[in-house]
Each structure stands twice: as structure tokens, then as C-alpha cells.
Amino acid sequence: MLTQSVEEYVAMRRAAGFAFKSAESLLKTFAAYSEARGECYVRAPIAIEWAGLAQTIHTRARRLGVVIQCSRYLHAEDACHEIPPNVFGTGHRPRPVPYILTLNEIRLLVDAASKSGYCTLRRHTYSTLFALLACTGLRVSEAIRLRFNDITADGLVIRRTKFCKSRLVPLHDTARAGLDRYLQRRIPYAPGDDHVFVSIRRKPLLLGDVNAAFHTAARAVGLPDEPKRARPTSHSLRHTFAVRALQTCPDGRDAITRHMIALSTYLGHVNVANTYWYLEAVPELMNDIAEKCERFVMGGRP
């Protein structure tokens, strides 16, 4: 049965460290669709027909791409499985241009969060969270999963994030002091939960809660919110950290390579190419590169 073959493929991908949640759901849906038509192998026409049921070309490409990856694996074991042609394209959307916050905008955001809503722990939670994101470059999902025992003398232990990787993020003394001040208020508020950041419901924060609080603070300080332009999100705090770190990169090919690898490891990127992406995605960094190239061509030092 195709469903069993799909389950074996999903188990293999998970064993390799992939979360594979959305892809698993798509493949199970495709398997059920195929089996309803009496097929127990991947058939290219049925795969294209199933993918074509999606409303947008991007979603069609995404659905068919997942089946193509699976079919390549299954075909290697059993040639009866067909590998569909990629008729809908790659399905990869261009990454949006990140919004890079200024130091003053970060200060205003943290201050706005500290005054938002009723005078409850919520104010301290979001002002501390936004400050921590800005000075560590953590993903929002990583920060809201932090537990008390993840705060160590050496820094924050970020456990089993993407591809089940863990890493240690050092904390500056000022960041540690701010976190300690927050915990003095937070621990008595919800002593039965060991998450560092909790909501006013005494439950761990949800990603939607953080995004809503960030947008409230962003509107309060007048940050741009226009369609078709780069707009600040809670992830902008991580983007900003990465860009500021890249701007401190020393000159010299070897030094740049070491700096990029260190930053990629610090940020928890699976591939260093994800770190290099900032060089082409952020106008400030592109301008820096252009100026250094121009000086090099003119005979000066890069």
C-alpha cells in the first residue's frame, strides 16, 4: 500500500533530523487520494492531478515537489513508482526583504511594550522578551520555549531546535541582569510552570501572542506598516542582530570566513548560506560591499 511506503519515507526523513510535519500531511493526503483510485504506487498523472487541485501555482508546486522527493526515494527501492515531472515549477517564493531596526527603534519598542495594556506581568514579559531577542538574535520560537534550567552560568542553552540541534548562546552581563529582574517578578506569578516567559493566563507564551504584542508596540511607536514594503515583525529583532554582527566583520578572506561560520553557528543556521543571505538581502550590507569593491578596483584596500 502506498500509505505504508509514505510512512517509511517519513520515518527516514525524521531519522535524518527533519521535523517533516507539513510534508507528512501532504503525502498522507496524496496516498489516500491515490489509493482511492486503486493505485498502490506513485503514478505521475495522478500526482499532477492531485497537486493541481490547489488554488495557487505556488501551492501546486509545493504539493507536487513533496511527492517528487518522496517518489525518488521510493523509486530507488521499487521501479514501479514513477517520478512525476516538475510541471508547476520549483514552488520557492523569494524571501521577503527583512526590516532592519535602528537602535532607537528597538529602544522605543521595548519601552512601548513596558507600557502596553494593564499594569500586569505582561508588560515586563514582553519588554524583557523583545530586549532579549534584540541582544541575542534568538528565534521567537526558541525564546518562548526557554525553561529555568536553560539559564546557566555560561549562557542560554537552546535545546533541540531545527534539525534537533542544540547550542549555547552567551549572555552579556546587562542581558543577564535584565533577565534576573524579570524572573524576580515572574516566578511568584506562575510557580507551577518552569517556562521563562508566561502569559497573564500563567501559561507558556504562544507565537501568536508574541506577534500580536509586537505589532501593538510597533504601531504605538509609528513603525511602517504599509503593504508591499519591508515591515517590522518580531523576527526583525533577529534579523537586526544578524546584520549588526555582519557589520562588525573584520577585513580579510580568512577572517571573514571564520566570522561567518561563527555567526552561522551562533544563530543556529543549518547552512551557512542562510547567513550569507543577509549580504544580498539588506541594502546597508550591499552598499558596504559595493564601496569596498570600488576601493579595491581603484587600487585601495578593500
* pLDDT of amino acid 194: 94
pLDDT level of residue 245 (50, 70, 90 thresholds): confident
Cβ contacts of 119 within 8 Å, gap of 6 or more? none
pLDDT higher than 80, residue 163: no
Taking all residues of the chain, what is their mean pLDDT, rounded to a whole number? 87
What are the backbone angles phi and psi of residue 234, rounded to the nearest 5°?
-60, -30
Question: Over pLDDT 90: what percentage of the chain?
Answer: 61
Tell me the pLDDT tens digit for each residue of 31-58.
999 999 999 999 999 999 999 999 888 8
Instruction: Say which residues have a Cβ less than 8 Å from residue 267's Cβ, sequence separation at least 6.
Output: 137, 238, 242, 275
**Quick check: 205 pLDDT over 80?**
yes
Render pLDDT for 145-159 as a digit per residue (tens, 0 to 9): 999 999 999 999 998
Count of beta carbons in the 10 Å neighbourhood of residue 26: 21
**Phi-psi label, residue 222: left if phi above 0, alpha if psi -120 to 50, beta otherwise:** left
Residues 260-284 pLDDT 10s: 788 888 888 877 777 777 777 776 6
Average pLDDT over residues 24-30: 93
pLDDT band at 92 (very low <50, low <70, confident <90, very high): low
> For the ranges 155-159, 199-203, 220-224, 294-298, which has the lowest average pLDDT?
294-298
Which residues form the catalytic set?
139, 162, 235, 238, 269, 278
